[in-house]
Amino acid sequence: MKFKLLFSVLAALSVHAASPSIPADASPVGRWRTIDDHSGKPRGFVRVYERNGEFFGRVESSLNPLDAAERCDLCSDDRKDQPVIGMELIRYLKKAGPDEYNNGEILDPDSGIVYRCKMRLSDRGRKLLIRGYLGFALLGRTQVWYREP
């Protein structure tokens, strides 16, 4: 009986030790490849950066040359009629845990809607899960972005 208990504890510890975790120094700061919700194909690149302890994300480029002229004509805030390339999509996220950030906002430039936002690093910092929602985090959608070298 004691042997089974000891074996179970050792097995659990070895699984935990072998499971991938987020490196202690992981940060969302960097360049991320975004994926189009409708086609499932890469759409462009967003640069996440930190300013005064908050995290922001700016559209760096698009993989569709037609997007270069796109403006946010449906936006209702300071981004109204501004070019989408170079625009801050993510604003005001704050670190909430080792790999979690919340209390921010994200803009959908296709609709002009600003959603509440939270994000989480996964896959040892190689993926960024961005969740936009209205009201409660349960009522929203999550996009997965991929870190670029």
Its domain, for residue 138, covers 28-147
3 pLDDT higher than 50: no
Q: Structurally, how many domains does the chain consist of?
A: 1
CA distances from 121 to 9, 25, 108, 113, 131 (A): 29, 12, 21, 24, 12
CB-CB contact of 104 with 116 (8 Å): yes
Residue 72 lies in a domain: yes
Q: Name the pLDDT band for 142 (thresholds 50, 70, 90).
A: very high
Residue 9 lies in a domain: no
A 10 A CB-CB count for 139 gives: 8
89-116, pLDDT tens digit by residue? 999 999 999 999 999 999 999 999 999 9
Return d(Cα 122, Cα 135) in angstroms, integer. 24
Any idea what DSSP says for residue 99?
Answer: S
Q: Name the pLDDT band for 143 (thresholds 50, 70, 90).
A: very high
CB-CB contact of 148 with 33 (8 Å): yes
A 10 A CB-CB count for 116 gives: 17
Please name the residues in contact with 53: beta carbons below 8 A apart, sequence gap of 6 or more. 94, 95
Concatenating the DSSP letter of every residue in 56-67 gives EEEEEEESSGGG
Residue 88 lies in a domain: yes
pTM, 2 dp = 0.82
Please name the residues in contact with 18: beta carbons below 8 A apart, sequence gap of 6 or more. none
Residue 22 lies in a domain: no
Residue 14 φ/ψ, nearest 5 degrees? -70, -35
Residue 59 lies in a domain: yes
CATH number for position 70: 2.40.128.520
